[in-house]
Amino acid sequence: MHGYTLSWLDYLVILLSLIVSIYVGLFFAKRQTDTKNYFAAGGRIPSWAVGMSIFATLISSITFLAYPGEGFKSNWILLVQGIMVVIILSGLVWIVVPLYRKVIGISAYEYFEKRFGAFARFYSSIAFSLTHFSKMGSVFFLMGLALTSMTGVNTYLIIWLIGFTIIFITLKGGMEAVIWLDVIQGFLLIGGGLIALTVILFSVEGGPIAIVNNAVENNKIDFGPYNWDFTKLTFVVMVVNGIFYGIQKYATDQTIIQRYLAAKSEKGAIRAALMGVFLSLPVWTLFMFIGTALFSYYQLSNSTLPADIQPDAVFPYFIVSQLPPGVIGLILSALIAAAVSSLDSDLNCLAAIGVEDYYLRFKPKSSEEQRMKFGKIVVVISGFAALLVATLYVLLGGEGVLGIVFGLYAIFSGGIVGIFLLGLFSKRANKKGVNIGIVVSIIFTAYAVLTSQKIGDSKLLDLGSWNFTHHKYMLGVYTHLIVIIVGYLGSLFFPHEEVHEDLTIYSWYKKLKTKK
């Protein structure tokens, strides 16, 4: 796709959105006097704003680009995960939010240590850090490539300019700036998607009805295949994956847990969690439908696509070739906003993990000023490291590099949901048993990644018929199940190990009955 020359109006809209972002960071800078304010906004954010922030954090620029691409080339099977998240959270939120607000300070992984010891906490926090650090590099990379294809501006310049802005906002404004920026960016993202979809729907003869009918005729609005096959991307695979993804995201992910702590009250945090996920599903559907509508649009209209265009590039191509000046700037601002709202959260949460899980362990008597200074150092180092990873992606070619990086962090990030579920629902699971489960999970994940990941045409480790052949989305499911099964059985061999039953759901249930 050839770069498009933006009008002065487009540049003005983008510039204004960046200026507003920087202003918000500076506005809240004066309140960042201690770690409670810096990492949890002093617990003073209204629930609706926290809900919008959770929503904006879940919707990154990957969603903005990948969902339309998937809707264009395939069907809506990826939405099954989002549907399962809504179902899981609707039951889980009443337990998880009160648990974290009562048991931890800032880090979600403090619960893991109180339940199963230091190794479980270190493993979980490192897994979170690796997962989100790798995600940050890929978000920068994909956003840079997309904006370059639409504007012609140098990819490195885009990545580093927006990266500096995100680091500055997070550094100065803390979680409070992050949340209120997420509110603005959430509305911008929804508005940008709705404008684009409206233009698509009414740009063909017959309007929305013709678009939808064509999509239905071509089986685009569908969630199949429905066969029972774990080696391919099927409805069943997405259902099972969605169950564990929902638990991992809303019960063990620091970016979400930190927002539970930022709300004014427990009930407000529960409302925020529900609002975040109930907003996310319609917006995921919106961007999936944009891809589906584009499929119909290019079949029914006189417009044609370049012969070599990839599915992920169809939506960007439509934006720059069919939308008027000003609107293009608004859509690009929404794309940038999607990246900012995801990345500023990651930086703040990585800093929180650095301070709470590591710095305080080695310097428990440190002052608030020292903790704040260390947290800000982590923000800067993490931000620059993510920018360097994104730059490396651009230099070496993205897809192969991304695959290797994702494979490496998968080895060290499996099983966290298993740890959490054992901690909450088992009165027998103990530290030694769970540690054995974690080690077995790491070994299994290493086997699965090495025997399924390729460099060129060769697998990293070829064991013939013993290679891991199931779909990559099942890998996370298996690692959690291994921790649950091995961790529970392993615990039976250490019956005298302390269990901390007061941190299980059964203790909470007894307390509720006592109150009644």
What does the pLDDT read at residue 1?
Answer: 46
Phi, psi of 459 (to 5 degrees): -75, 150
Question: What is the Cα–Cα distance from 85 to 70, expressed in whole angstroms?
Answer: 19
**Which residues lie closer than 8 Å to 459 by C-beta, 6 or more apart?**
450, 451, 452, 453, 467
Q: Is the pLDDT of residue 403 over 60?
A: no
What's the rounded mean pLDDT across residues 369-381?
94
Q: Is the pLDDT of residue 401 over 50?
A: no
Handedness of CA 98, 476, 279, 77 (dihedral sign): negative
Handedness of CA 229, 231, 233, 236 (dihedral sign): positive
* Stated pTM of the model: 0.88
What does the pLDDT read at residue 12?
Answer: 92
- Provide the 3-class DSSP secondary structure of residue 60: coil
Q: Give the side-chain half-sphere CA count within 13 A for 121.
A: 19
Interval 456-501: pLDDT, tens: 677 888 898 999 999 888 888 999 999 999 999 999 999 988 888 8
What does the pLDDT read at residue 115?
Answer: 94
Mean of pLDDT over the chain = 88
Which of these CATH numbers, 2.60.450.10, 1.20.1730.10, 1.10.3720.10, 2.60.40.1530, describes 11-413? 1.20.1730.10
Structural contact between residues 364 and 82, judged by C-beta atoms closer than 8 angstroms: no
Q: Is the pLDDT of residue 254 over 80?
A: yes
Question: What is the Cα–Cα distance from 146 to 151, expressed in whole angstroms?
Answer: 9
Question: What is the Cα–Cα distance from 177 to 187, expressed in whole angstroms?
Answer: 16
Q: How many CB atoms lie within 10 A of CB 443?
A: 12
Q: 135-139, 252-256, 445-449, 491-495: which has the minimum mean pLDDT?
A: 135-139
What DSSP string describes 347-400? HHHHHHHIIIIIIHHH-TT--HHHHHHHHHHHHHHHHHHHHHHHHHHHHH-HHH
Q: Say how many residues make up the chain.
A: 516
What does the pLDDT read at residue 30?
Answer: 85
Interval 426-454: pLDDT, tens: 999 999 999 999 999 999 988 998 898 77
Among 207, 357, 190, 353, smallest CA distance to 287 is for 190
Question: What is the Cα–Cα distance from 192 to 14, expressed in whole angstroms?
Answer: 13
The separation between CA 273 and the C-alpha centre of its own chain, rounded to angstroms, equals 15
Helical axes 327-353 vs 368-396, angle rounded to 10°: 130
Question: What is the Cα–Cα distance from 379 to 169, expressed in whole angstroms?
Answer: 10
What does the pLDDT read at residue 492?
Answer: 96
Question: What is the Cα–Cα distance from 106 to 416, expressed in whole angstroms?
Answer: 18
State percent of the chain over pLDDT 90: 51
Interval 214-233: pLDDT, tens: 999 999 999 989 999 999 98
Domain regions of the chain by residue span? 11-413, 414-511
What does the pLDDT read at residue 511?
Answer: 66
Interval 66-118: pLDDT, tens: 889 899 999 999 899 889 989 998 888 998 999 899 888 889 999 999 999 99
What's the rounded mean pLDDT across residues 257-277?
92
Q: Is the pLDDT of residue 286 over 90?
A: yes
pLDDT band (50, 70, 90) for residue 402: very low
Question: What is the Cα–Cα distance from 482 to 415, expressed in whole angstroms?
Answer: 7
Q: How far is CA 268 from CA 39, 95, 105, 186, 282, in A?
A: 18, 14, 18, 19, 22
What does the pLDDT read at residue 227?
Answer: 93
Among 385, 377, 345, smallest CA distance to 166 is for 345
